[in-house]
Structure 1
Amino acid sequence: MVPASDGNLSLAVLIDADNANPGIVDGLLAEVAKFGVASVKRIYGDWTTPNLGAWKQVLLEHSIQPVQQFRYTTGKNATDSAMIIDAMDLLYSGTYDGFCIVSSDSDFTRLASRLREAGKRVMGFGEKKTPKPFVSACDRFIYTEVFLPAENEPEAAKAKSAKELRQDTRLMNLIRKAIEETSDDDGWAHLGGVGSNVSKQAPEFQARNYGYAKLSDLVEAIGLFETVRREKGVLVRDKKTKPKGGNGA
């Protein structure tokens, strides 16, 4: 999880128009606002082509600056190159704390790594088809299907059952390991710490990917963990845990 102090980050939002759906913009910018202020909002593509027409009204409504990049050869590499060059220019300006890269293209993997090497936060946004290397290169990666209306992306809105969640070996391992690494002697862990630990292991992790609004909802739906709510937050423990002392909650 991004620390609360990061809510004031100055961010550069760079969108690959060839690899993003105009329908995600409202949700995308609302998500960006959780991390900080979108000081720069640019979108890259060949605006002379009809396939980007759906973006034009969206750009006006959200004050996103279109950047024209002609396709000199077949493909979209010119657009990718323009985004990468701009990102490096913005990095060297020293003005921005983080970057939001909106694309499902693996071509941005090295860019994300380079920005992080420079000490910048990198949030990636792309579809579930996004190659794993790009996902892993970001501090956080959010699948954009969660921003689409339910009628357009029914699977994104459908909550997985307890059986389905328990059968997801990777999910179970992530949560159990995070609880183990952040718990006290009685096995209780603060849910916020668990979320931070999971995100470090899996940048793409979001409760919304499983159809739940919050991590607490997801953990409770699995049915294998105890949760208690306290003034300072939610505590969670594996039901199989045998306390070493008294009740740590």
Structure 2
Amino acid sequence: MPPAVPPSADSATTTPFLQISGVSKHFGGVRALHEVDLDLRRGEVIALVGDNGAGKSTLVNVVSGVQRPDSGVLHVNGVEVRLDSPRAAAAVGIHTVYQDLSLCDNLDAVKNLFLGLEETDPWWRGRTLRRRAMERRAREVLDSMSVRLRSFTAPVGGMSGGQRQGIAICRALVSDPSLVLLDEPTAALGVSQRAEVLDLILRLKEDNRGVLVISHDLKDVQHVADRVVVLRLGSKVAEFSRGDYTSSDLVAAITGAHEGVA
């Protein structure tokens, strides 16, 4: 497993890239989120943890523009924004990598990286794909995250879990986002593949991008997160900084063994 990277020296003093204030969301009579506050900075990894039904996925869906909150506001770089679609979230620099990765297994890495963002020649040249230009950009992005592929032309369906996760994360980077949301990025991966993905998360941090990661693996969380935010029954019940908590503290906050953990 790669060595943990300490928080950036100025991460606690910089203005948050994203501020979530009093966000609530209901589905019928079910309270998914209740007045959640959270701030995320560039160059910082925040882990979002909680039991099933705690509200983690709902919060990510709100930030990614998939679902609109019933109340509360979001600010990006100090300006109030309305993230009413994934396109709106992408426009302000937020990109989400979901657990299913949404890769096309029959396409190669380059085509997956530029899916929907293909570079083409001008219309008077027939709008043919600029494959070489896309390959150059793909190599730049993959190299920046140290993602190693044997072939750029092989279908991604035959690649390892770690490589597939790396391609999904790098696809997010093609649009140069400031904040990357990762939903259970190490789920169902072996030890070596998990280490690769954790290293990718730390490289995103080193690249001065904010990272919000959902994970059930508390060891992974303690390894990469500068801060850990705990949700329970839709409410934010605790927030911990690196080095100021134990595994028992996390478990107690997640299960509600003691309330008001700070």
The bucket for the TM-score relative to the shorter chain is 0.3 to 0.5
Q: Structure 1 or 2: larger helix share? A: 1
Larger radius of gyration between Structure 1 and Structure 2: 1
TM-score when normalising by structure 1: 0.36
Kindly indicate whether structure 1 or structure 2 has the higher relative contact order, using CA contacts under 8 Å at least 6 residues apart. 2
